[in-house]
Amino acid sequence: MAISTATLLHEAIYAVILFAWVMFVVAVVSKKLYEVMIGRGLPHNVAVYYNRKLIHVAAGGLVAFLVPYLFTSPIIPFILAMLLAVLTYLPHRTGKLMYWFQVEDNIFEVHFCVMWGIVIMLAWIIFNGNFWYGVIPVLYMAVGDAVTGVVRNALYKRRTKSWWGNLAMATVCIPLGLKLGIAGALGGLIASIIEHFEFKFIDDNITVPLTAFLTILAFRIFIPHYVTPLL
């Protein structure tokens, strides 16, 4: 599908605004929140973990939700996601971490950016320009995973896995998935279960959106009447 120059210009402007918002959340809001949490006596690791989930929702989740309303092509969102992946990877490469949300032995925020871009791109390509088939799985990662992380952090004060967190995630992802019908709800349930497991270098920022996307895709191919497309 050809994009007019005017449309491309508008979408470039949207991308700049969204990029500025993400930078504001990452560099200003989350850093200030870190200082507040540390000032109130929260351990460093707890403050960092809360910040990572804040960024999940306020940056990754919000921007994903806006994509179908602002963009007609996945190219600019994909470029934006890859740029953010590079920007979050470089501090790990140089050893100059953004300490208020990054940790030395965990580059999963890079995986988040990469999968955000890939899943939304694939959805647009496979589902004839319908972003929602990718946005919903990305929201499982951005919002659903944030909920389970907050619950775990509140209960255990450290990064760990807990079925209580997965239950909380399911209460978010299943209703959210119903926007795509039974397939989306089942994708939300499976994503909430798979989040509990990590496979060495493959973390939940990869398994959650990918598993959900493949579940919805399978339904669309084999039993499409269980999928309700959002337009």
- pTM equals 0.92
**pLDDT at position 167:** 93
pLDDT at 231 over 90: no
**pLDDT at position 149:** 82
**pLDDT at position 155:** 80
Task: Give residue-wise pLDDT tens across range 184-204.
Answer: 999 999 999 999 887 777 889
Contact in structure between 106 and 163 (CB atoms under 8 Å)? no
Task: Kindly state the average pLDDT of the residues 159-163.
Answer: 77
pLDDT at 93 over 80: yes
